[in-house]
Chains A and B, each alone.
Chain A
Amino acid sequence: DIQMTQSPASLSASVGDRVTITCRASQDITKYLDWYQQKPGKAPNLLIYRASNLQTGVPSRFSGSGSGTDFTFTISSLQPEDIATYYCVQYDNLPPTFGQGTKVQIK
């Protein structure tokens, strides 16, 4: 299985801050990586697909970049409603594998 190493495991930032989360794959996954947001007690919600494409209806403060093994997810200006856990997932190889998640909190 491809291992997805996501960091940090948690972070605390102020409203308006720029937040960056990284995911590193154990092998080249080209751009077959998505980012999800999961709020407590809810199902995950797709934010970014294919590394850098914003899902329809998702605010433009969310963005993704990267290819190969190194990927970055950014919230350009953290909002109170962004409090959640964020996951990357690769689907270049079966089985699809998720990062461990990053819990984002407001400072």
Chain B
Amino acid sequence: QVQLQESGPGLVKPSETLSLTCTVSGGSMSSSFWSWIRQPAGKGLEWIGRIYTTGNTDYRPSLKSRVFLSVDTSRSQVSLRLTSVTAADTAVYFCARGRHYCSGGDCYSRWFDPWGQGILVTVSS
């Protein structure tokens, strides 16, 4: 059973870069895509971006200028970098696996299953 674990600094200073890693265990990274999602305290969920093991990415338009995702299949890791952070970037950050399914021309995706436990990142001086 695939498990995901986020790691990284819990405190980042304003204007600096937030860097997180999602380590995948219990299964292969292939045939999947990997998303980052964040959730400010007491608020809803916001998708940040996704990356395939090929390196292809999609980003949330409002964050596109500040976000960079990378993947290292040899280490079974997906990384998130978010530059020029402000207090508005304070949130719990989750990673999640996504998969596409096709059967007889009928295709759909499961975007977020499973999730990591999440990591709280606070932006503060």
Contact = CB atoms under 8 A, between A and B. Distances in A.
A5 interface: no
Contacts of B113: 46, 49, 55
B46 A43 contact: no
A61 to B, nearest CB: 20
B20 to A, nearest CB: 14
Contacts, number: 53
A44 interface: yes
B115 A98 contact: no
Interface string B105-119: 000111111111110
Given A50-B108, A91-B109, A95-B60, A43 B45 contact: no
Contact of B117 (A43, A46, A50, A99): A43
B108 A44 contact: no
Contacts of B112: 34, 36, 44, 46, 89
Given A32-B108, A95-B61, A45 B44 contact: no
A34 B47 contact: no
Contact of A96 (B94, B111, B114): B111
A101 interface: yes
A99 B47 CA distance: 12
Interface string B18-56: 000000000000000000000000001111000000000
A89 B118 contact: no
B16 interface: no
Contact of B44 (A1, A43, A91, A100): A100
Contacts of B72: none
A43 B3 CA distance: 12
Contact of B94 (A43, A49, A91): A43
Nearest to A101: B44
Nearest to B108: A50
A79 interface: no
Interface of A: 1, 31-32, 34, 36, 42-46, 49-50, 55, 87, 89, 91, 94-101
